[in-house]
Structure 1
């Protein structure tokens, strides 16, 4: 079951024609990633976006109900691949594939997921 994050669309997320600006999709995907993975952050530990692909499918207009679903596709030693879908009024509007890396700022290197975290990620459970 994918993790769902409801999005509050702001008027400033749209262009002069009332369409959702293309950069807002990336911000919404980021909010949903943080919603799923936020508990991994800690002192000197960060989540770095290593890769992102965004495919637009349909327009989103101000006033539509928007949410993002997030599915864990693959869990590596220190990275996780996520597949996300941005929905407007329950219709798919964009898909986002991203790779996020757990990063140790002190060591300036990727940090392995603890085993309990890996198991929860593999089950697609939110960590927050």
Structure 2
């Protein structure tokens, strides 16, 4: 079950996503996720509680970045990205040597570095 919450820390909104974020739940959460951008210049997205994703999830994040860009804002992924998310990003072609990769079309999305899961890689900035 996918869940989303918005908190403010030091005046900056943090969007926390938890649970399973796959194609079948993305549409129902789109409005709540985009609502987190209201009035924000920068939004941090915390994926540390995400347990399952698919390729559609990364397209969803890319769309969020484009929405932010259109509003003059930036979306930043928190550096703690679960192994499950990193692995799917690598398999689906959304991660390269410099982190998550949307083919150069990142929009307003700032991405953490993601290394190969096979090499026991970690995330970093």
TM-score scaled by length of structure 2? 0.27
Structure that is richer in helix per residue: 2
TM-score scaled by length of structure 1? 0.26
Which structure would you say has the larger Rg? 1
Structure that is richer in strand per residue: 1
Larger RCO (CA under 8 A, 6+ residues apart): 1
